[in-house]
């Protein structure tokens, strides 16, 4: 019998799609919802399930940004055979995304026991939500918002790529929150920072999902819940991406900061009263 029912998978897929690319921590929200539904958050099958349904959200990114991705891929292919094309920013950017993914992959493999064990605690999630809010608030004010996507450099990509490790080690910090905030500190404007976060998330999250697939299927999650959760994640994530890009073009991240603090404090209250287990 699957440790996650189809109904629970649907709920978790919707939560994943809503929160994967918003700077509010999809991992944190998934763990909170799993706790409320009495699903063991440290169970290997559950950890695998949450990684797999992320692939649905990544598929939404691939579809939404298909034209951009095709442009990067085309520039990369041309650059392999034509040296002159290697001066093209799109060619360089394609390689930078690859290089910027290496640190999180290395840390993910080395720290896997910690990530799936002690660091999966909901106490860590609550603290990370609140601390990450402070980081996001400060970054939005420190950044001068003067550089666009065409101004992204190798250093930008590597520094922002490495910031994904914060969310990997501290669920609740938010991968998108960490990357967008770091990009803002690098003086990218809000739209460029958000788009860079999307592109950097493609290889990291896809790799995590494929890596965990065998564990999720073999450890007690049925194919039906996986399929339902992944499809729900895809549909909701696509709408979430479109909304976020329109939102950041005209607004600061203050609403997300306030929301994260409220959720973090509420989570501590639920943990302290025993409504959910850590």
The answer to whether residue 2 scores a pLDDT higher than 80 is no
Q: What per-residue confidence (pLDDT) applies to 190?
A: 95
Query: Is the predicted pLDDT of residue 35 greater than 70, yes or no?
Result: yes
Over 70: is that where the pLDDT of 118 sits?
Answer: yes
Instruction: For the beta carbon of residue 191, count every other beta carbon within 10 angstroms.
Output: 17
At residue 12 the predicted structure's pLDDT band, cuts being 50, 70 and 90, is very high
Q: What does pTM read for this prediction? A: 0.88
Residue 157 has pLDDT above 70, yes or no: yes
Task: Tell me the pLDDT tens digit for each residue of 202-256.
Answer: 888 788 777 766 666 655 677 888 899 999 999 999 999 999 999 999 999 999 9
Residue of 155 and 144 predicted with greater confidence = 155
pLDDT at 52: 82
């Amino acid at each position: 019998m699957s440790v996650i029912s189809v109904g629970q998978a649907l709920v978790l897929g919707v939560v994943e799609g809503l929160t994967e690319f918003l700077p509010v921590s999809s991992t944190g929200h998934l763990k909170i919802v799993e706790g409320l539904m009495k699903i063991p958050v440290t169970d290997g099958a559950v950890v695998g399930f949450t990684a797999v349904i992320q692939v649905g959200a990544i598929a939404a990114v691939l579809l939404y940004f298909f034209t951009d991705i095709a442009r990067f891929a085309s520039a990369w292919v041309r650059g392999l055979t034509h040296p002159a094309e290697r001066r093209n920013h799109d060619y360089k950017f394609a390689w930078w995304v690859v290089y910027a993914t290496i640190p999180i992959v290395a840390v993910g493999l080395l720290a896997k026991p910690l990530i799936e064990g002690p660091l999966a605690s909901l106490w860590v999630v609550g603290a990370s939500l609140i601390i990450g809010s402070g980081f996001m608030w400060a970054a939005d004010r420190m950044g001068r918002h003067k550089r666009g996507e065409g101004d992204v450099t190798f250093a930008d990509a590597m520094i922002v790529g490495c910031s994904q490790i914060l969310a990997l080690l501290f669920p609740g910090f938010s991968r998108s929150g960490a990357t967008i905030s770091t990009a803002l500190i690098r003086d990218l404007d809000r739209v460029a920072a958000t788009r860079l976060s999307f592109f950097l998330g493609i290889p990291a999250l896809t790799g995590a999902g494929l890596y965990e697939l065998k564990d999720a299927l073999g450890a007690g999650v049925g194919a039906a819940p996986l399929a339902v959760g992944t499809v729900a994640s895809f549909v909701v994530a696509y709408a979430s991406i479109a909304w976020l890009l329109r939102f950041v073009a005209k607004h600061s991240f203050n609403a997300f900061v306030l929301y994260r603090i409220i959720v973090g404090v509420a989570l501590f209250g639920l943990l302290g009263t025993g409504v959910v287990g850590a």
